[in-house]
Amino acid sequence: MTTDLTGQLVVITGAGRGIGLATAARFVDAGARVVIGDLDDDVAAKAALQVSRGRAGVAEGHVVDVADRASYAAFLDFARTLGPIDVLVNNAGIMPLSLLEQHADESIDKTLDVNVRGVITGTKLVVPDMIARRRGHVINVASAVGRMGYAGAAVYSASKFAVVGFTEAMYAELAPYGVHASVVLPTVVATELSAGVGNAPGMKPCTPEQVADTILAVARKPRLESWVPGYAQGVGTAVNLLPRSARDWLGRVTKGDQILLDVDAAARAEYERRASR
């Protein structure tokens, strides 16, 4: 059964730019009302104005720090002034890249707080109302490295593995109440977050709009796990079925094991600076 999104209230974190902004635009075009959350209140307001395209009341912007429970709770309380929340898209995330031995403790804490605790906090805050109404959908944006770990991104990969496992568990917990949980796993996306990062062998960077299209499709027809692009799931599954020695050989031959090690530090400098704030 396909869900009609017309009039539904959709809340999206990290929606001031990139995947979140593209997703907000897709939901607005589908007739939903959207609440855009971003760490920068001015960015959130501008994003809401952009996706509204002159249509009053279809998008609102509000500040949120997903790593701060009180901030996330206040953000959702603001959203509830517009009505019950039908869909929560936990999209906010950061990707500092570093060898673990060189990764600052503060950056590790921030990555886990934003990428893992933020997802758990947001989900915990919205599901009681969804369970009571026996309807609702939580969509978590993870990453292909949530299924395949890469050197140079150990902490980021750990955080996305956690999101995948958490979503699978929530899928099982919420299903008896008619509430859905889904996880979306993009490969490299052409956004600031992936600045300076090369492509996986045989894969082109996907666009924020492609990820947004998948999130919208999942909201309309819920399923547990979706990759972007879709064929990447088959590739990832096949690689994970190989013996470890074969996977290592394949990584060396294709240089796929270097994609998060051999990055352009200069191209990433601005993103890394902003992510560290």
Q: In what order do the strands lie in the sheet with 59-63?
A: 59-63, 33-38, 9-12, 87-90, 137-141, 180-186, 225-228
Q: Which of 72, 150, 156, 171 is catalytic?
A: 156
Contact by Cβ (8 Å): 189, 146: no
271 is catalytic: no
CA angle 224, 21, 162 (to 5 degrees): 35
Exposed/middle/buried for residue 6 (C-beta within 10 Å: 0-12, 13-18, 19+)? exposed
Radius of gyration of the chain (CA): 18
The pair of three-digit structure tokens given for residue 242, joined into one six-digit string: 């190989």
Q: Which residue has the tokens 């500040």?
A: 63
Active site residues: 156
